[in-house]
Each structure stands twice: as structure tokens, then as C-alpha cells.
Amino acid sequence: SIVQKRSVSCRTAPNIALIKYWGKRNDELIIPENSSYSITLSEDDLCTHTTISMSPEYKCDTFYYENVKQKEIPKRMQHLLDEIRRRTSKRKLDNDHFSYLNWSVEIHSHNTFPSSSGLASSASAYSSIAIGLSTLFEDTEDGTITPTCSYLARIGSGSAIRSLYGGFVQWYHKDPALSECMYPAEQWPELRIVILVFNSKTKPISSTDAMKRTTQTSSLYKERLKTIDEKIEQLNLAIKKRDFENFSNIVMRDSNQFHAVCMDTYPPVMYLNDQSKHFIQLVHEYNNASKITKVAYTFDAGPNPFCFILQQHLDEFLDLIKYFYPAQTQHRFHDQIKTMKLNRIP
Ligand code: PMV
């Protein structure tokens, strides 16, 4: 007999927040308290590959991570499946031939970057599952970002909504269903990213729990919210003008403010470690000695810096890194991203 099967494959890349999303106005619908802005990495270098298939032959929904069948579907993934089926059944109510609503699915997810790379994989994982599910259930053409797709990415992991697009991306708090590419990656071809991995362990507290604690206890956080829209406007302008000085200033200050807000949370949330702080000092001393800003750093919810630097200063900066952090264990290079894994400072 003919085996009925529908399947789709897609891939998306992680993103690095330049202006951080922190705090939810609504925990269930993942409505952010503030707009955020990020850069999506190159898919050619780092990405999550997802293949989703559905068939009446499958007995139940299953999830394979790195080719290993998981005992159960993660809670958030189940939530996405429930949601796409609920929406599809509503939409197809008056259609006759709609059988595949009760077919089970198989989700295969694979990352081309190690979980020890210092990058959160949830954004690329959920954006790619969202695209896969909406393509399958909504019968859209490959790569179409529908409102359902955006919604699924967002409820998977808030920041995943930004990985639906490449380049420089904004997610709007006044319209939480909307994220959009402000500039493609080609806007700034000289911009390079270096990731230093100081610690590859998973974070001590989930971002969801930490955000909740921050919104409930930090007064500094309320001050931060007032300044975000203006900061995003300035950042967007700096990117438009390829003004590295202003770009760096805004990005580093936002990272520092975000971690200050984490420290102002009670009990405090600490993502930076001694190496992170040492590195922050080093960058400022280096920029100072250079008389221009050559490097900018930013830290998401972890101790590993993402550095921005223009191509013409890259080699010098890498020499500096090798000097201060000789214990480098991994070194990857690509046109758009350079990753270096480092274990200790001398
Ligand atoms: O997407 P979540 O819920 O894991 O939150 C991401 C939070 C930060 O990475 C710290 C900031 C951001 O905008 O990505």
C-alpha cells in the first residue's frame, strides 16, 4: 500500500540581542514588556535543522534531538503542537477532505553548533519548528512567515520570534505578534562577531523564572523600560549609518544595564562571572588605548561575551585575545562569525 506522508525541512539561526528583551507582561501569551533588537547569525555557519513529518502510520507524536528519540515531547513543544492543531481544526471546520489533523508528527531537530558554544539554541530551535509546523498545517509555501508561525515561535521562546528573519531584527512590544527585519546582514559587511566561551554550563536560573523575579522586585527595571524605545531608535540609526562608535556605545551600555537590573533583582540573578568582568575591563582599556572604539561586547543570560568588531581590526583583536587568554581550545572561522572557546584567564 502507499504510505501517506507529508514532510517539510527548514533551518534557522540563533540571534544575539543588542537591546535585550527582559520581562513578560503576559506569561502565557509571551507579551514582552519592552521591544528588543537583535542580529541573526549566518545560517551557513550555525543553525538548527528541523524536519517534521506527519503520517497516519505514526502511533504518537515523537521528538528526536540529535538523532536520539526523546522519552517525551518537551512541554513547550507540546504547547506548539496543541496550538497548531487547535488553529487548524478551527480553520478547516467547513472543509471536507481534511484528514491529517489527527495524524501524528515526528520532529527531528539538529544543531550544527555544539550546545557548549555559548549560544542559546532555543531561539533557533523554536523558530525553525514554528516554520515547519506552520508550513505543514497551513499549506503555505516554504519560507512564508504567517501570523501563526510568529505566534508559535514566540510561545516556544520569546526571542525565537526574532530568529524568523535574518540580519538586524526588531520585535515590538506594542505589537508582540510582529518582528521584522530592519536591515539585511549585507547592510554592514565589515561587521564581525567573535564569541568567547568562558563557561559552557547551562544557566543557574531559567530566563522565564528570572524575568518574573525581576519584574516583581527590581525598581531599576522600571527605569530601564522608559529608555528602551529611544535606545532602539538610536541603534537603528547607527546601523543605518554604519556608525560603529555609536553602535558600540549603545550595545555595551544596554548589556551593562541589563546585568545591573539582574543584580537589582531580589534575590539577585547573576549571569556574569569573574572572567566576564575581567573581559569588560579589558575591552574598555583596549578601546581607550586605541583612541577609538574597536570592540563592543554584549552578554545575554550567561557569562560568554559576544563581541562586535570591524574586519580591519579583527586580527589585532584576536592577537590581544590570544595574549590574554592563551588557553584557547577551539577556534572556528567563518565569513560572518568567529567563535573561540576559551577555558580560563591567566
Ligand atoms: O527567549 P527567552 O525567553 O529565552 O529570553 C531571552 C532573554 C535574553 O537572551 C537575555 C535577551 C534577548 O533579548 O534575547
Return the ligand 1 atom nearest residue 19 CA: 13
Q: Are 199 and 185 in contact (CB under 8 A)?
A: no
- Domains in the chain, ordered, with CATH? 6-185 (3.30.230.10), 188-342 (3.30.70.890)
| Pick from 239, 264, 260, 259: nearest CA to 249 | 239
Return the ligand 1 atom nearest residue 208 CA: 3
Residue 346 CA to ligand 1 centre (angstroms): 31
State the pTM of this model. Answer: 0.93
Beta strand pairing status for 306-310 and 191-197?
antiparallel
| E strand or H helix at 149 | helix 147-156
The reply to whether ligand 1 has any atom less than 6 angstroms from the CB of 127 is no
| Pick from 332, 345, 47, 12: nearest CA to 192 | 332
pLDDT digits (tens, 9 = 90+) for 120-175: 889 999 999 999 999 999 888 777 899 999 999 999 999 999 999 999 999 999 99
Return the SS3 of 301: coil
Q: Are 69 and 260 in contact (CB under 8 A)?
A: no
Judge whether residue 94 has pLDDT over 80. Answer: no
The reply to whether ligand 1 has any atom less than 6 angstroms from the CB of 301 is yes
Return the ligand 1 atom nearest residue 206 CA: 4
Residue nearest (by alpha carbon) to ligand 1 atom 6: 159
**pLDDT band (50, 70, 90) for residue 90:** confident
Q: What does DSSP assign to residue 2?
A: P
The reply to whether ligand 1 has any atom less than 6 angstroms from the CB of 122 is yes
Q: Please name every residue paired with 69 in a beta bridge, in sequence order, or none if there are none.
A: 64
Q: Are 65 and 107 in contact (CB under 8 A)?
A: no
Return the ligand 1 atom nearest residue 30 CA: 3
The reply to whether ligand 1 has any atom less than 6 angstroms from the CB of 121 is no
Judge whether residue 226 has pLDDT over 70. Answer: yes
Q: Are 14 and 196 in contact (CB under 8 A)?
A: no
Return the SS3 of 222: helix
Q: How far apart are CA 50 and CA 100, in angstroms?
A: 20
| Pick from 285, 284, 288: nearest CA to 297 | 284
pLDDT digits (tens, 9 = 90+) for 25-56: 999 999 999 999 999 998 877 889 999 999 99
Judge whether residue 2 has pLDDT over 70. Answer: no
